[in-house]
Chain A
Amino acid sequence: MTSSLHIPRGLSRRSLIGLGAAGAGALGLAACGGPEVGGGGGDGGGGAEDLDLDFSGVEPATKIDFWSSHPGGSQDVEKELLGAFTEETGVEVNLVTAGSNYEEIAQKFQTAQAANSGLPAVVVLSDVWWFRYFINGNIIPVDTLVEQLEIDLSDYRDSLVADYQYDDKQWALPYGRSTPLFYFNKDHFSAAGLPDRAPETWEEFEEWAPELTEAETPYMYPDLAGYAGWTLQNVLWGEGAAWSDEWEITCNTPEAVEVMQWVQDSVFSDGWAQVASSDSADAFAAGVCSATIASTGSLVGVLESSSFDVGVGFLPGGSVEGPVCPTGGAGLGIPAAISKEEQLAGAMLIEFMGRPESTVAFSAATGYMPVRKSADLTELTEETPQIQTAVDQLDQTRPQDFARVFLPGADQEMAKAIAAIATAEGDVQEAMDGLKETLEGIYTKEIEPKLP
């Protein structure tokens, strides 16, 4: 052996033992962390029945973390509200920017679950994520906390609070809630001699579209990365179709295929629409299109950046009567794997953020909808009258299709199918058949075995 270190045989033996110990340590470390491996399918309904949800006698933590993506550019108003909360309760809140959108905050939250450390007391969770957290046992039902803190759920807007109910439990409370809105350029509509309002149906807009020649395109579909599956529910529902009927995937029914064929025709053969390559609200504000659909959360930004008169209206309907507007946006939830003291303090924060005056302040800063019925909207609508349209539209909302909000990755798969139809001019029936097969596979593999 030629070694400049002159390691003798005895030391080599010890080195060998040391290496063995290191190897054993590495294997030991490898055995630590990660999921518990078993033959089952998962937690089965979040494992809520195993949780101790009695908070009587629990003292709230004095310092907690709040993970937010600051929806609608809400960082400043969140800081203001948290300052007021600390002043009132003495609970110090560390506002953590846990991502720039719902997906990034979900990424951080899920990673923290895997690490089983660093979890916040309150987390912003979007419409497509909370159910996954429930399935995985990541969040607790808030019913007992609602009762203990005397939160009046009946004063929350019914459709918004109902969005977080499953298995007879309440899993989160509304926060930055939105619906899609129809945005139109009043100047362009006026120049085209059209009425100063949003179209009542898509058929009506189709008749108007040839007159709208001021912009590059009369209408712009939201970009595929920006929740195309969310906004297209409007068109599907208007014609009696849907992505799914509860857990039954219905995206390839004749009605759904006909609707998506209409979408394809609007882009290619009729040519009155385009698919946005980035945020359609930005394209609309820049005057690239005369109309688009975007979230109410984009309202304040569009109003600030547009150099023209912005009109907003309800989403156009179809030939079938009934609500055609989906709800969306985010709520606030409480992680399961934190102390009861933190959970209680987190619930206090959720109660505070949901108060009528808090939700009005949040809406004024962002354009998201006030989530309480008793919220005084006078000042808010004086400053931004368009918000009243969003609030009024709440009566026309309908819970989203299970396939979109409850199936992991469904939104991405819907975006792929829509891309094949509306950007690549692919065969509509084939795209929707493929989507159905994929969504059914996700349900069978990821959801069905874990439902309670």
Chain B
Amino acid sequence: MTDSSRTVPGTDAPRTAASPPPGRTPGQSSPPVLRRRRMSRRARRDALVFLAFAAPNLVLIAMFTYRPLILNIQYSMLDWTLGSRTATFIGLDNYIEFFTSDAGLESLRITAIFTLFTVGGAMVLGLLIAVALNIDVPGRGLARSAVFAPYVLSGVGVGLVWLFIFDPNFGVLGWILRQVGLDSPEWFLDPDMSLIMVIVVYVWKNLGYCAIVYLGGLQSLSQDVMQAAQLDGAGAVRRFVSIALPLLSPTTFFLLITTTLNSLQAFDLLRIMTPTGRGTNTMIFESYLQAFGGYSRAGYSATISVLLFVILIVMTVAQILFVERKVHYS
């Protein structure tokens, strides 16, 4: 369709230079064609600027995010041994295997436990620490830095240090337990203890993040409201539970989403502390183990990645749809 054939809204008459748009009578200044040309030039310039800034990022995102995503979905329907140049299309067999095999369901169970306890642990402890750090006492700045420091440390380094701490033979934890007549749990041999071990370390590493974000939330609370409640006779616990916590709900909501996403993608600590994945093979770790842990099952590994991607999307959307309703933004 050419410009000259466009119709004037509300009429069947074609819009031309001789039939101006509604509201403008013939003979007025700024003829429509000329005006449209000026808008066109400006729009083109804006579009070029937009493209100049956005195109490199869009290309990179397409190459390194969407392309792998599309390829991963394709690979998830293949029986493909990593390293082999050929593969067989097997449809949804990998998905069926994941949901019907003991190993797949076990990985799902471990993922749920790990996520629940790491998110819950880091948020609850982070909130309590934030409350403590919010008290105006000397050395508060140093304490804040100390609490936040583990979050910025390398997961590999943290894992190695904690391996020494937990080692039943050489570790300081085992030594302390022996001093009080107890044996060290088999942190590396008992799958249940291995899971507890990585949860403890993961919470330790990440609670500083929750604490600092909660601290920011606490410091932005309106003191007028808190003082009014105090004048009304509300005690410290009542003020915290009935006023501070509801007012912190945007912070809690933000942390719930970010820490859940991070926990579902936790890998470095798990890989370093429990290389075999016994008891700690969350979905992302299981995906790694299937591809690179000796099995070389690239197709099945891709399937687990796709499922994890779907779970991440569903959980995020569910949180936005249902949890956000309970958030008080003011």
Please give, as numbers and ranges, the residues of chain A lying within 8 Å of B85 by CB-CB distance: 35-36, 43, 113, 136-137
Name the distance in Å between A32's Cβ and chain B's nearest Cβ: 9
Contact with B along A113-145 (1 / 0, CB 8 A): 110000000000000100011011110000000
Please give, as numbers and ranges, the residues of chain A lying within 8 Å of B70 by CB-CB distance: 26-27, 30
A2-10, A251-259, A321-329, A391-399: which lies at the interface: A2-10
Name the distance in Å between A99's Cβ and chain B's nearest Cβ: 10
**Cβ contact within 8 Å between A277 and B87:** no
Judge whether A283 is part of the interface by a CB distance below 8 angstroms.
yes
Q: Which residues between 1 and 60 of chain A lie within 8 Å of chain B, taking CB atoms?
A: 4-8, 10-11, 15, 22, 25-27, 29-30, 33-43
Judge whether B66 is part of the interface by a CB distance below 8 angstroms.
yes
**Cβ contact within 8 Å between A42 and B84:** yes
**Cβ contact within 8 Å between A37 and B62:** no
Assuming the A-B contacts A41-B88, A107-B292, A278-B167, are A136 and B186 also in contact, with contact meaning beta carbons closer than 8 angstroms in the complex? no
Give Cα A445–Cα B169 distance, bound, in whole angstroms: 41
Judge whether B316 is part of the interface by a CB distance below 8 angstroms.
no
**Cβ contact within 8 Å between A278 and B294:** no
Q: Identify the closest chain A residue to B49 (Cβ).
A: A5
**Cβ contact within 8 Å between B83 and A132:** yes
Give Cα A397–Cα B58 distance, bound, in whole angstroms: 59
**Cβ contact within 8 Å between A5 and B74:** no
Name the distance in Å between A330's Cβ and chain B's nearest Cβ: 16
**Cβ contact within 8 Å between B71 and A34:** yes
Name the distance in Å between A397's Cβ and chain B's nearest Cβ: 23
Give Cα A211–Cα B170 distance, bound, in whole angstroms: 24
**Cβ contact within 8 Å between B86 and A8:** no
With a 10 A CB-CB cut-off, give which of B44, B163, B189 has the most chain A CB atoms.
B189
**Cβ contact within 8 Å between A408 and B43:** no
Q: Which residues between 222 and 280 of chain B lie within 8 Å of chain A, taking CB atoms?
A: 275-276, 278
Give Cα A132–Cα B83 distance, bound, in whole angstroms: 9
Q: Identify the closest chain A residue to B42 (Cβ).
A: A6
Assuming the A-B contacts A114-B83, A423-B190, A424-B190, are A412 and B74 also in contact, with contact meaning beta carbons closer than 8 angstroms in the complex? no
Give Cα A313–Cα B289 distance, bound, in whole angstroms: 35
Please give, as numbers and ranges, the residues of chain B lying within 8 Å of A416 by CB-CB distance: 278
Please give, as numbers and ranges, the residues of chain B lying within 8 Å of A8 by CB-CB distance: 36, 39-40, 43
Dominant secondary structure at the B interface: mixed
Q: Identify the closest chain A residue to B62 (Cβ).
A: A26
Q: Which residues between 74 and 127 of chain B lie within 8 Å of chain A, taking CB atoms?
A: 74-75, 78-89
**Cβ contact within 8 Å between B43 and A277:** no
Q: Identify the closest chain B residue to A287 (Cβ).
A: B169
Please give, as numbers and ranges, the residues of chain B lying within 8 Å of A39 by CB-CB distance: 88-89
Please give, as numbers and ranges, the residues of chain A lying within 8 Å of B170 by CB-CB distance: 286
**Cβ contact within 8 Å between A216 and B169:** yes
Name the distance in Å between B72's Cβ and chain A's nearest Cβ: 10
Give Cα A277–Cα B142 distance, bound, in whole angstroms: 37
Judge whether B208 is part of the interface by a CB distance below 8 angstroms.
no
Judge whether B159 is part of the interface by a CB distance below 8 angstroms.
no
Assuming the A-B contacts A6-B39, A136-B85, A275-B189, are A34 and B296 also in contact, with contact meaning beta carbons closer than 8 angstroms in the complex? no
Partner of B84 from A22, A33, A137 at Cβ < 8 Å: A137
**Cβ contact within 8 Å between B294 and A411:** yes
17 A-B residue pairs with Cβ-Cβ distance under 8 Å, sorted by A, are: A6-B42, A29-B62, A30-B70, A33-B71, A34-B87, A35-B78, A35-B84, A42-B81, A103-B293, A103-B294, A110-B82, A114-B298, A136-B81, A277-B168, A409-B293, A409-B295, A412-B294
A22-B62, A42-B81, A412-B295 known, 20 other contacts, Cβ within 8 Å: A5-B46, A8-B40, A26-B62, A26-B67, A35-B86, A37-B88, A37-B89, A38-B86, A38-B87, A39-B89, A109-B83, A110-B292, A113-B83, A137-B84, A275-B189, A277-B187, A286-B169, A411-B294, A412-B276, A412-B294
Q: A residues engaging B (CB < 8 A)?
A: 4-8, 10-11, 15, 22, 25-27, 29-30, 33-43, 103, 106-107, 109-111, 113-114, 128, 132-133, 135-138, 216, 223-225, 275, 277-278, 283, 286, 288, 408-412, 415-416, 419, 423-424, 445-446
7 nearest interchain CB pairs?
A: A409-B295, A110-B83, A277-B188, A35-B87, A5-B46, A30-B70, A423-B189
